[in-house]
Structure 1
Amino acid sequence: MYNILMLDDDQEMIATISPLLLHSGLNIQHIFSATTFSQGLDYIREYDIDLLITDLEVEGLNGIDDMQQVKLIKPSIEIIVVSTHNTFEYAQAAIRLGVKNYLIKPLELEPFLDSVREVLLHVNIARPAIEHTHWAQGNHFQMQRHTIQNHIKLNQLFAPHAYIPQEESVYQSLGLHGPYYAMIKIQYQPLTSNQVALTVADHYLLNYAVMNLAVELVHNQWNSVTFETDECEVNMIMQWDETSYLQGWHHKIRQLNQLGQLLHNHINNYLHIPNVIGISQILKGNEFINQLNIQAHRALMWHTQYPDHHVFYYGDMYWKKHEVSEPTAVIEENKGKNPYNLIVSQVKAYIEKCYGQKGLTIHDVAKKNHVSPNYLSYLFKKNTGFNLWEYVIKLRMEESRNLLLETDLRRYEVAERVGYESPEHFSKIFKRYYGISPSEFKQLQA
């Protein structure tokens, strides 16, 4: 059964559409509604939401790029945007960020229901179809592999300290146009049956399955070149020309992190293959192209230090100024300083100061502390035992309890003090946290 979240401040539209969806023949369990972006994020964190239907004009949603926050919290969620912005640029940006459909208000109900049916069918059938594919059925995979010659050339080109050709035609022939590049390296463990190693044919199909899934995820959304190594690795070269890079360039790293998380989740969930993702920085120019491989490989190595984390961005790591081949060397050099604990301490101090701020997001916290949201969430959980947003809610609930005990503030005033725009939403969170509503809590103290 499906859970749907409708994020829109038009309550009349929600009241009209919700019963239509519930009686549309779709297997819908529950339809949630939220009127602000931060309230919607809370629902996505707390419930298993399959589909988000969102307007772009709700309070706290500052442009379509904020949809990345939704995908970071729940990578598998599908999104339909409904908007009054009838422009190609908005629709193009939405599709680039993984939005499944972009509909214009006022909604035509039949096309809207058709769109919801199509997206939920995708949730239920399209991805899991990969899960049930047997490796022997190689004809299920239709992706075209590189020729042997190009496979060799790509591996040679991206090898550490490789000779870098000057001729532009070499790169063009391999589909590399740049000038901006980043590498996502997927390292996975080969499957075995009863401790018996896979045959060459099995290994070939396994490689192919990982590549196929990776290519499918970026299809029509990223300009990329994907190739395998001779080991259990797949490399994805993401590239941008000058124009596309400068459009929202400050969001590129966030998008790469989100894509890395999607890759890990899909390979793990649908192919059942343990995997780790390493992501390089974005570098400009063919002369730095083999640095991408070095960076992505180093990022991967941090999995040995943090085995319960699976997506690593090179730019988040603490490196020595000179060449380092192992992350342990950095750790040894900085014993007693532990930069990771320092980051978590700074983040805790920031949250304790700003938890009452309306519209606070993980991205705000990460940006203030100069790390990616994905990596920050991991560090915080590892060092405190709390999910980062659980910690925000903990502080908000403890403060609201104190305010209810010690002051005569009304419910809406308490909600505002601890960062909630909606008193109703505050009451729901309070009851879920303490088991009783704020008014019931107040009566018990009387």
Structure 2
Amino acid sequence: MYKILVVDDEPRVSAGIRNFLLSSDMNITAVETAVNGFEAIDYLRMDQFDLVLTDIQMGRMSGIELMENIYMEQWNVPVIVISAHEKFDFAKKSLRLGARDYLVKPVERTELLRVVRKALTRKELPDTRPQPEPASIRRQERRDEWLMELVTERNLTPQDMEQITGELGGLLHGPFYGVISIRIDYSRAGFSRQQVTLQDRKLLKYAALNIMNETLAEWNGVTFNGFGHSIISLIQLSAEDREDPRVSVHSQIQMIGQMIAMNLKRHLNTEAVIGLSTLGEGIATLPGLLEEADTAAGWNSVHPGHQVFYYGDFAMQEHLNRGQQPDTELTAQESEAAAPGVISRITSFIQNNYRNPALKIQDISEEVHFSAAHLGYIFKREMRMNLWDYVTALRMEEAKHLMATTDKKRYEVAYAVGYESPEHFSRMFKRVLGLTPAEFRKQARGGERAEAEA
């Protein structure tokens, strides 16, 4: 049984897709519709969906921005984008961000069925592939040696770097790079979760390298063996990608980390700790970026419930709490003690801005200079609740107050507490409180009259 969310600012289009999917033979039991990205985000925070179909060109929040929000909060939800012919460049960008497929308006029914069926029943990547020939293995080992030289040796001359990049045959072209340090738990893996023997670890690592190559293909990824059982990946961004105003680069980096963890879990059933560096310009920055990625992965010892760590988050936390440069490291105890101060900044910002219907997790993360993923993690850890449950609770408390103490109409209350659509406000109100706004007001006013009479 599948549950799907359709997002389009043309209600006629989303209603048509909903009715068609419900009448199909794909065991789709529910299709919700949203008229903009903010409504869609609310639905995703309240329910679990198996698939999202979204228009690309929408007012207030584009499909690209919606995808970014989805992957920051529910990175395992597949997305299909719907694009007009003249907006095909947006569709290509969405595919780079991880969309499963795209549809072109006007949507043809047979194509809609094909794409949705493919997304819902997508086969997993193979765990292993045919082993390469010995000559190929030697070339791979030589390539890995050159790459390790680039990411570990700080004293390479420009001539050395030119020689190594020449040996790599144009594999690295940047100009912006990020480094990912992957530490896989080889003790237990596979769908039986059996202990992995020493001889099987080589095969498991080979499978992991294949999965990394698949995952990072859209980011010109280069993956190779690191020290011990670690794996190192490089991502490359062009200047155009780096400066694209439609997509946050830091959000992309976080999304890549989440996708790696998800794919390793899905296809090998093994856990991994992912350390992500910031972006650097030029090959000469690679050794420093590897140090950042390794430092970030090391934070798993302080936060064992977290898998993906972005160096910029912890560097910024040190900067905020010490008033020093981000390269000053906090001890584990100092980091834990500093968390309540960060949470205070987050809750204060939310309390001052929850009435804004356009409030996004990126707005909050920019205020405290954390990535969206890390922000959500530390908030839930300290507050014992989801960040957006906190936002919704503030909105509902204010709505209850206005419904009980004023004569404001439903749409006025909706706008006052941060909802653009009165209908969507009513759905959220009933879902959270179990009553419609009108029923709540009647109940509240009845209680007031009874108290006055008494």
TM-score by length of 1: 0.88
Q: Is the 8 A contact 2:226 2:232 kept in 1?
A: yes
Evaluate the alpha carbon distance shift between residue 378 and residue 195 of structure 1 in structure 2; reply closer, same or farther with a 3 A threshold.
Answer: closer
The Cα of 1:109 is off from its aligned counterpart by 2.3
CA distance, structure 2, for counterparts of residue 323 and residue 42 of structure 1: 37
The Cα of 1:48 is off from its aligned counterpart by 1.5
The Cα of 1:161 is off from its aligned counterpart by 4.3
Question: Structure 1 residue 181 and structure 2 residue 177: aligned?
Answer: yes
Greater helix content: 2
- From 145, 162, 182, give the equivalent of 1:168: 162
Evaluate the alpha carbon distance shift between residue 323 and residue 20 of structure 1 in structure 2; reply closer, same or farther with a 3 A threshold.
Answer: closer
- From 282, 287, 293, give the equivalent of 2:290: 293
1:294-337 deviations in Å (ceiling 9; x for gaps): 0001111111111112111111113565976x7527x55x897x
1:239 maps to: 236
Q: How does 1:23-422 map to 2 (within 5 A)?
A: 23-62=23-62, 64-122=64-122, 126-127=123-124, 130=126, 138-139=128-129, 147-159=140-152, 161=154, 163=156, 166=159, 167-174=161-168, 175-192=171-188, 198-219=196-217, 221-248=218-245, 251-318=248-315, 319=318, 321=325, 327-328=330-331, 332=334, 338=338, 340-422=339-421
Q: Is the 8 A contact 1:141 1:209 kept in 2?
A: no
Structure 1 SS opposite 2:172: coil
Alpha-carbon RMSD across the aligned residues, in angstroms, is 2.7
For these two proteins, the number of residue pairs brought into alignment is 430
2:452 maps to: none
2:450 maps to: none
The Cα of 1:224 is off from its aligned counterpart by 1.4
TM-score by length of 2: 0.87
List alignment gaps of at least 5 residues for structure 1. Answer: none
CA distance, structure 2, for counterparts of residue 197 and residue 312 of structure 1: 26
Q: Is the 8 A contact 1:183 1:292 kept in 2?
A: yes
Percent identity over paired residues: 33
Q: Is the 8 A contact 2:65 2:246 kept in 1?
A: no
The Cα of 1:391 is off from its aligned counterpart by 0.5
Evaluate the alpha carbon distance shift between residue 50 and residue 196 of structure 1 in structure 2; reply closer, same or farther with a 3 A threshold.
Answer: closer
Q: Is the 8 A contact 2:83 2:90 kept in 1?
A: no
The Cα of 1:65 is off from its aligned counterpart by 4.1
CA distance, structure 1, for counterparts of residue 336 and residue 212 of structure 2: 38
CA distance, structure 2, for counterparts of residue 398 and residue 142 of structure 1: 62
The Cα of 1:77 is off from its aligned counterpart by 1.7
The Cα of 1:346 is off from its aligned counterpart by 1.1
Q: Is the 8 A contact 1:35 1:59 kept in 2?
A: no
1:228-254 deviations in Å (ceiling 9; x for gaps): 224221111011233443334972111
Evaluate the alpha carbon distance shift between residue 300 and residue 100 of structure 1 in structure 2; reply closer, same or farther with a 3 A threshold.
Answer: same
Q: Is the 8 A contact 1:180 1:282 kept in 2?
A: yes
2:451 maps to: none
Amino acid at match of 1:214: M
1:372-404 deviations in Å (ceiling 9; x for gaps): 111111111122112111100010111111111
Structure 2 SS opposite 1:75: coil
Q: Is the 8 A contact 2:65 2:247 kept in 1?
A: no
Q: Is the 8 A contact 2:79 2:100 kept in 1?
A: yes
CA distance, structure 2, for counterparts of residue 163 and residue 231 of structure 1: 23
Evaluate the alpha carbon distance shift between residue 200 and residue 364 of structure 1 in structure 2; reply closer, same or farther with a 3 A threshold.
Answer: same
CA distance, structure 2, for counterparts of residue 115 and residue 195 of structure 1: 33
Evaluate the alpha carbon distance shift between residue 172 and residue 440 of structure 1 in structure 2; reply closer, same or farther with a 3 A threshold.
Answer: farther
